[in-house]
Amino acid sequence: MNCLVAVPARLESSRLPNKVLADVGGKPMLQRVLERCAKANRPSAVVLCTDSDQLLQKAKIWGFEALLTSPSCASGSERIASVSEQLISQWGGSAKSSLIINVQGDQPFIDPRVIDAMADAFINRNPTPEVLTPVYRMSAKNIHNPNVVKTLLAADGRALYFSRSAIPHVRGVDPKHWGEYASYWGHVGIYGYRADVLQQWNDLPNSPLEQIEKLEQLRLIEAGIEIGTFQVEDESLSVDTAEQLEQARVIASAEL
């Protein structure tokens, strides 16, 4: 199975505009993301997908391939889906034998080993999954943090739901003690798509759950597409707020 990484990015982020160009440890955040993705062994290419000519040119200066997308894309997955034919024709194989890994442009510390683990999971599982995403055991401090996405898992590891709220709800227990009664799983915001699934993105019905939670993966679940998971040890910081940007800068300074 051929594997490539597609990094969707835009400048007009609603919560933190221009965040992908924010300085993190002496480099623009997006450059850090692309460089960390390039350290993975499995992908044959790392491609930026963006609606910004400015980001397109910067990616080329940094030594990365890039494709220009429509500015109307509502999510990172939709942005990649809109150029999936080009991704497959230029860097992939057939739609069913190509794995496209969506790594968001706001994850400056994405672990290349997680990307390789995702590729290995696709290769080793039978039948080949439609979609995979990594999850991790959450610490108690983040159970009620709406900026940390939670995943509800079935016994076989399928993702049943994603939410910014704590799931499951522990009835009759003070919320600060919920972690003592249930396992809570956090979601590392990268997705592995079999390419033919991405190709049908625009044919999926509108998802009220996606609109309510602002989580693109709920479109898949609401349409009946299974999302498999695999466990990783640690979360990967996604920068959505000014506070998280400062946190990223602290982490980066400690690495120097």
Residues 6+ apart with CB under 8 A from 53: 68
Which residue carries 């704590």 as its tokens?
166
Query: pLDDT tens across 139-163, in order?
Result: 999 999 998 999 999 999 999 999 9
Query: What is the set of domains in the chain, with CATH numbers?
Result: 2-255 (3.90.550.10)
CA 255 to each of CA 7, 25, 104, 109, 114: distance values in angstroms, whole numbers, following the listed order? 23, 8, 21, 11, 19
What's the pLDDT at 15?
A: 74
What's the pLDDT at 256?
A: 65
What's the pLDDT at 180?
A: 95
In Å, the largest CA–CA distance within the chain is: 56
Identify which has the larger pLDDT, 233 or 249.
Answer: 249
**Range 160-164, long-range pairs (CB < 8 A, 24+ positions):** 160/221, 161/218, 161/221, 162/187, 162/213, 162/215, 162/217, 162/218, 162/221, 163/213, 163/215, 164/213, 164/214, 164/215
Mean per-residue pLDDT over the chain, rounded: 92
Query: pLDDT tens across 90-125, in order?
Result: 886 777 778 999 999 999 999 999 999 999 999 899
* Cα–Cα distance for residue pair 60/164, rounded to 1 Å: 35
**Which runs of E-coded beta strand occur in the chain?**
2-9, 23-24, 27-28, 46-50, 65-68, 98-103, 131-137, 150-153, 159-163, 185-187, 190-194, 227-231
Q: What pTM was estimated for this model as a whole? A: 0.92
pLDDT at 27 over 90: yes
Q: Which two tokens stand for residue 45?
A: 């290419």
